[in-house]
Amino acid sequence: MISLSGCSRLTKGSSTIKIAAMSTTESSIMANMIAQLVAHDLDYKTEIISNLGSSTVVHQALVRGDADIAATRYTGTDLTGTLGMDTEKDPEKATEIVTKEFKKRYKQTWFPSYGFSDTYAFMIKSDLAKEKKINDISDLKKIATTAKVGVDSTWMNRKGDGYSSFKEIYGFDFANIYPMQIGLVYDAVETDKMQAVLGYSTDGRIKSYDLKVLEDNKQLFPPYQASMVVNDDLLEKYPKLSEVLHKLDGKISVEEMQNLNYQVDDKLLEPSVVAKNFLEAHDYFEGDN
């Protein structure tokens, strides 16, 4: 568990604000960014509850009151998973639904997106993309009969945006498709064991291995806009907090998040260092409201 403290000067009482992070590089970076921003602007004590195994575990931690802030929640995941509702492929509508439902069901505030969406994405090596003129998923049809394609095992049978939906929406299939653990697909394409893979759009290895993320030109995948979620009782207890947390609204693009993940996963910097460098480079968003 990582703990980051300010000067312990809370507006009411001496409580510590607890920030829940999943066991992903991305979630850890964002948790550290929230903690450091809060400590910098308000001198509030913060504690990061790290390495939580899934979005479900993070959600339960907030509902139980074991944590106050979820560092990373994703619209597509929570819409069908936590809320048990149908997929919504319009980003604005998806955000509107989760915002309304989290407020009504759990008394939680869904903050605006950080600015990036961490979704499934097909990718290939940049040199192959240039050679075959492949820019979007439809272009994969050019190599569908010859290429080896590595995909997340769970994707094969997913409803709504899995392989069956892919074939229906894009109108072709792959002659050689290999289900595997999602963490293995990047090495597989980097070593040419696979010519195309299905990974995550903000993964740092995209930059490490010079991969090209293909445009989902027929919108197979629903939006997975990333946001923080905060228990309403925390915002009521500390009225100054909301304004500070909103400083992260729309500040991080997909490319920026790829780079932040890359600095941790490839350059081996600590998430806390990467978060601090980002905040300092942007002067802690001085002047934002």
Residue range 78-127, pLDDT digits in tens: 998 999 999 899 999 999 999 999 999 999 999 999 999 999 999 999 99
The arithmetic mean of pLDDT across residues 127-137, rounded, is 97
pLDDT of residue 213: 96
In a domain, 218, yes or no: no
Boundary (domain end) residue, out of 187, 213, 239? 213
Domain boundary among 213, 233, 251: 213
Same domain? 43 vs 110? yes
Q: Is residue 187 domain-shared with residue 267, that is, in the same domain? A: no
- Which H helix or E strand runs over 179? strand 176-180
User: Would you state the structure tokens that stand for residue 175, as one six-digit string?
Assistant: 């002659």
User: Does residue 76 share a domain with residue 207?
Assistant: no
* pLDDT above 60: residue 9: no
Task: Write down the pLDDT at residue 287.
Answer: 65
Domain that holds residue 260: 2-117+223-285
Across the range 212-232, mean pLDDT stands at 96
Query: Is there a contact between 243 and 287 (Cβ–Cβ < 8 Å)?
Result: no
Kindly state whether residues 186 and 276 are assigned to the same domain: no
Query: What phi, psi does 69 have (nearest 5°)?
Result: -130, 135
Asked whether residue 99 falls in the same domain as residue 45, the answer is yes
Distance CA 225, CA 218 (A): 18
Domain shared by 73 and 147, yes or no: no
Residue 15 pLDDT level (bands cut at 50, 70, 90): confident
Write the CB contacts of 236 (distance below 8 Å, at least 6 apart in sequence). none
Task: Name the pLDDT band for 28 (thresholds 50, 70, 90).
Answer: very high
104/233 same-domain check: yes
253 & 205 share domain? no
CA distance 126 to 134: 9
Find the Cα–Cα–Cα–Cα dihedral 186, 190, 191, 193, rounded to 10°: 60
Counted domains in the chain:
2
Report, as an integer, the average pLDDT of 53-78: 96
Q: Is the pLDDT of residue 45 over 70?
A: yes
Say what the pTM is. Answer: 0.88
Q: Is residue 273 part of a domain?
A: yes
According to the model, what pLDDT value does residue 285 have? 77
Check residue 288 and give its pLDDT: 60
Residues 6 and 62 in one domain: yes
Residue 17, helix vs strand vs coil: strand
Residue 115: exposure state from Cβ atoms within 10 A (0-12, 13-18, ≥19): middle
**76 touches 94 (CB < 8 A):** yes
Paired residues of 117 in beta bridges: 225
DSSP states of 101-160 as a string?
Answer: HHHHHH-EEEPPP-S-B--EEEEEEHHHHHHHT--BGGGGGGGTTT-EEEEEGGGGG-TT
Last residue of a domain, one of 188, 213, 238: 213
